[in-house]
Amino acid sequence: MPLSRKRIDEITAAMGRARVLILGDTMLDEYLHGTVARISPEAPVPVVDIESTRQLVGGAANVAANIKALGDEPLLVGAVGDDPAAEQLRSLLVEKGISPDYLVIDKTRKTTIKTRIIAHGQQVVRADRETRHDLTSEAERQVMARVEKVAESISAMIISDYGKGVITPTLLPEVIDLCLRKKIFVAVDPKENRFNHYRNVSLITPNHHEAGFAYGRRITTMDDLLAVGQGLLGRLEAEAILITRGPQGMSLFRRGQPPTHIPTFARKVYDVTGAGDTVIAVYVSAVAAGADAIEAAIAANAGAGRTVAEVGTATVTAGQLREDLERNLDNGNLAVAHRTRQDQGSGL
């Protein structure tokens, strides 16, 4: 058994002692909830009567919220515009106990807002207001200065790249080089069109669509999955790649080790928004608490299983994580499969 009750207790008890820097694209997630009773006479679209609204932190800010929920201290470094959305985002961060002081103001851009209209529990449409160009050279310099300021005091760094312009081609190698020199664990939630730049990192967490696109081979069979996972691992010289596969769980690829396949723990799926944020946050928090790669991947899988059961971005605490892991242990769901190229099957 790869994760015993003793190890579950040890790892979850040790969470909450790390300082984690989160670098990336911060967003404001807006949810408009309502009902549909008619179709618009102007176009064949539903008319949603809005009954409630709520705003949540999104993108890299949601990764920070996940780290905070696990008990660790998040340091959120990113960029916002000089606008009301930035003020709202700061206010939400403060409510969660996350400092907004490391955010850089770039007056050439808008703070990203993703507005989702939801009717009867289903998303009807999403509207984005954002700027996707790269940071100005001055804003980039300020971001790097903030990273360097706290580098000596962190246990790990998470790069949350949503392709909105914070993770620039010049900033990324500087940040990774800094982590390598200081032996900081660095995990990347990637954007598929920038894969070749994430070199020599500790962990990359693409979903199977992103991984297949980056490698140039669509993942439809186990042969495809193994080729893509091992191929990206070698190409990027990463220590590990964790490919999330939706209802089929996750697959962990590590240097010199056979792949490890972990079945999904999700009991119900209402909304996958932010699930990747939970995966990378739980994995990093678990590693900082002494977990090995397989233990951290199993914990991340359990964390994602809980958050997809809620509408909107959600977080998981160390206590909830322990409960879910122990329940899955009792149900016999923590078994993992090791598969080599010699004994692989052809189907997923």
Catalytic residues: 277
> Are 345 and 337 spatial neighbours (Cβ–Cβ below 8 Å)?
no
> Are 172 and 165 spatial neighbours (Cβ–Cβ below 8 Å)?
no
Residues whose CB is less than 8 angstroms from the CB of residue 157 and which lie 6 or more positions away in sequence, other chains included: 20, 21, 22, 23, 147, 175, 179, 184, 185, 186, 187
- Helix and strand element counts for the chain (H, E): 10, 14
**Phi and psi for 39 in degrees, rounded to 5?**
-105, 140
The pair of three-digit structure tokens given for residue 172, joined into one six-digit string? 């990324």
Report how far residue 189's alpha carbon sits from residue 198's, in angstroms, rounded to the nearest whole number: 10
**Phi and psi for 303 in degrees, rounded to 5?**
-60, -45
> Are 291 and 10 spatial neighbours (Cβ–Cβ below 8 Å)?
no
The CA angle 291-191-214, to the nearest 5 degrees, is 95
Amino acid 170 reads: T
Q: Where are the beta strands (DSSP E) in the chain?
A: 19-24, 26-39, 46-59, 73-80, 103-105, 112-119, 122-129, 156-160, 185-189, 203-204, 240-244, 250-254, 260-262, 337-338
Report how far residue 88's alpha carbon sits from residue 103's, in angstroms, rounded to the nearest whole number: 13
